[in-house]
Structures are given as structure tokens and as C-alpha cells.
Structure 1
Amino acid sequence: MYKKLAILGVFVLTTFAMFGQQEPKAKAAFEKAVAIMKYSSVKMNFSTIIDMPTAKRKQTVTGTIWMKGAMFKLVMDGSVSYFDGKTEWVYQPDNNEVTIASVSGRDQQAMNPLAILSNYEGKAAKIIFDPNVRSTPATEVIDLFPANQAAAEFKIELRLNPQTHYPQSIIVFGRDGTHTYITIHSFQQLPALNNNTFVFDVKAYHGISVNDLR
């Protein structure tokens, strides 16, 4: 569960004295990327490394996610997760078992990359081009710093294709020392997905074991 929350939820700030400072071009590029994820149906193939220095271990996973606003379907680590904006189903094919749970607003932010990135759309967050990495015609590098110093992350580094505004990678720097590196190998805008894509149909699986935590 932690891996899924860390991956979908994506987190990252060295201390800056001034919040609210923004580079208009960086902010515009960021908001275009968020708009694509917010208002389109998309599919992403990704790999993730979660580096936890305090635990002295790294975890590497790969997966595929389909998203439509707050809803998603995620295939990762041999399981399939469905989320319709309120309820989550996690299906384990090997056991023919599904776990059903209601998800709070706070947990939704941890599960959906769009939710945490949307937190930076306001005027308070600091959004700038990374001063230490030169943007190229193929990649622009944007740093996001939260205005809320209680946020789990202190900085997010977002790399975008400047032509399409598609995300290429996300690095989340957590205040607890955990770094999450997400590489997006492919990003596709799709025709509008039916909302049923994000709902698990229990009746379609004969003999399934249901663990309902709602």
C-alpha cells in the first residue's frame, strides 16, 4: 500500500525565504500539463524507484495507469486497482480476491498524481524553472515548492516535453528523506474513457473472495 501511495501520490523543498514568487512561463507550462491530466483521459506506462535512506532500502516497481480526472485504474505489482473518485477496489488475480474501501479526500491526494500537482495551481506555491538544470528543446525542468511547510514534500521536480506539455518524469523530495523517482516511459491522450473503466464489477468474477472494508 505504501508503494502505491508513494508512487501515485508523488511528494518534494530546500528552504526559500520567499513563497509566492513565480516565473510566469514556468507556471503556464505547469498549468498546461495539469490541464491535460485533469480534463483528458490519459494512459501512462511508468517505472518508479522509492529511495528510503532511513530504512536503508530502495524499491523499484513498474506499472500502467489510466486516468480521467480523479479516477484511475492502476496495474502494478501483480494487482489491479480501480478508483471511481470515492471507492477503491484492489483485485488480486492470483487469489481471485478483491478488497473494497472508501477513500478520504486526504488519501485521494496521496493516490492520484493529479491531486497533489493540483495543490500547486494557486498563487501561494513557488513555481520556477530549475536554476541548476538548463531546459532544452526536448525537456523543460520545473521546480515546485509548497507554501504549506507542513506538506509531506518540500520540493517536486517536474520534467515536461515543452511541445506537448506531457510529463516525462517526476521526482518527489520528502521531508522524511524519502525520494520518489517516477519515469514516464509513455504518455497517451485517449478518447474519453467510460466511467465504468474505473469500477470493478464483482459479479463478473465467479467465486471471487470479497473483503469489504467500507
Structure 2
Amino acid sequence: MRKYIFSVLIALLSLPVIAQQQQSQAKAVLDRTAEAFRKAGGVKADFTVKAVTNGLTEGSENGTIQLKGEKFVLKTTDMVTWFDGKTQWSYVVKNDEVNVSNPTQEELQQINPYTFLYMYQKGFSYKLGTTKTFRGKAVWEVILTAKDKKQELERVTLFVTKDTYEPLYILLQQRGQQTRNEITVTSYQPRQNYADSVFTFDRKQYPSAEIIDLR
């Protein structure tokens, strides 16, 4: 009995060390992923996003995102969103209107899943998961959890290739919601040369669109 108690005590005392090691390993993966992204220059990624509730897919769509640092342009069937690092323009196809805003970091997290490359550095704890392969590739699984219980985005699960540190899969879980968004990267093209103008709304391309300034 005493031997059992000591075994349990040793295991409990070692948990903080194991957790610290896991967090250190997870941070190393995130750091290398962020560094690989910075070195990639401009990036173009094709993706599929699914809304899943209780294991059932409620809807899915395909899209493309072009990135350079914090700047991005995101294109789906229904919407095109540009962000130049400060201002965001969202063109809604069916309404032929553009909403202009200066989004918060939390709002950007809901639009651009690649913000994990910056947001993990504050406000999130992280640890390694157990998934080893995804779509035939060896991956690191990293789970990020928001420290602030009031933050809308509660958890991010990320699969990153072990050889090139490119994101393959991103799972976004909003706080208090059963539905989660699963993003699968189907194509990833680094070293793209983008002018800054790519990430701003061009009025000439949408001459009839109504501009709604929400700033």
C-alpha cells in the first residue's frame, strides 16, 4: 500500500515537469512554424472549410488565401476579404457591397486562421497532441487554449508537417458553441511575390459596389 501511495505521489509531482516539457516542445514547433512562414515570403494556400456539429458536417466550401506577413486576401464563393495590416475590406458578392473596418485581433482570428502564427505568443497556453500522421504525412499536433475565459475563440488545434513546418489542418472551436470549423489546406505554395496593392480593395474592379464604412 505504501509503495502504491509513493508511486502515485511521484507521478503527481512529475506532472508539472511533464507539462512544462510539453509546453516547451509545443512552443518550439510553433516558433519553427512561424519562422518557416516568415522565410516563405508570400504564400498562397487553397483550403476546404467545414462546419461540424456533433460529428456531422453542416456545410463546407472551398477558398483561397494569399498572405504576406499579417496582410492577406481571402476568397470564397460568397465573399472576398482584403486586409493590409490595418484596414479590412469585405466584399459580399450577393449584396454587391463592401464593408470597411479596422478589425480587432480577435475579429481577425475568426477570418484569417493563419493569425495563430502571431497570437500564440500571448494569451494562449499550448501543448503537443497525440496525432502523428495526417493525410499520409508525419505531423506535429499542437493544441492552443485561450487563457482568457471571456475570449470567443476558445481552442485551436493545429497539424504541422514535421519536415517543412507547413500547416495542414486547423480546427477552430468557439467558446460555448457545439459547432466547430475544420480547415484543411489542400495546396500550399510559398515564395510568392506579392505587391502590397494585392491586399487592398481596388474600387475600379467593383465600380457598382456600395461602400459601407464601419470605422
TM-score, normalization: structure 2?
Answer: 0.74
Q: Residue 10 of structure 1 aligns with which residue? A: none
Q: Residue 121 of structure 2 aligns with which residue? A: 121
Q: Residue 174 of structure 2 aligns with which residue? A: 174
Question: In the TM superposition, what is the alpha-carbon distance from 1:93 to its structure 2 partner?
Answer: 4.8
Q: Which runs of 5+ in 1 are unaligned?
A: 1-16
- Which structure has the larger Rg over C-alpha atoms? 2
Asked whether the equivalents of residues 146 and 155 of structure 2 are also in contact (C-alpha less than 8 Å), the reply is no
Q: Residue 139 of structure 2 aligns with which residue? A: 140
Q: Residue 21 of structure 1 aligns with which residue? A: 20
Highest RCO, 1 vs 2 (Cα 8 Å, sep ≥ 6): 1
The change in CA–CA distance for 1:107 and 1:144 in structure 2 (over 3 A counts) is: same
Counterpart amino acid of 1:75? K
Q: Residue 12 of structure 2 aligns with which residue? A: none
Asked whether the equivalents of residues 41 and 68 of structure 1 are also in contact (C-alpha less than 8 Å), the reply is yes
Q: Does 1:212 align with 2:210?
A: no
Q: Secondary structure at the match of 2:32?
A: helix
Counterpart amino acid of 2:64? T
After superposition, give the CA deviation of every residue in 1:36-92 in whole Å (9 maximum; x if it has no partner). 334521111001111245xx9723121001011221111112321111122111224
TM-score, normalization: structure 1?
Answer: 0.74
Counterpart amino acid of 1:202? R
Q: Residue 66 of structure 1 aligns with which residue? A: 66
Counterpart amino acid of 1:107? E
Asked whether the equivalents of residues 70 and 112 of structure 1 are also in contact (C-alpha less than 8 Å), the reply is no
Higher relative helix content = 2
Moved more, 193-202 or 78-87: 78-87
Q: Secondary structure at the match of 1:160?
A: strand
RMSD: 3.1
Q: Residue 9 of structure 1 aligns with which residue? A: none
Question: Where in structure 2 are the equivalents of 1:30-49 lying within 5 Å?
Answer: 30-38=30-38, 40-49=41-50
Distance in structure 2 (CA, Å) of the matches to 1:52 and 1:30: 28
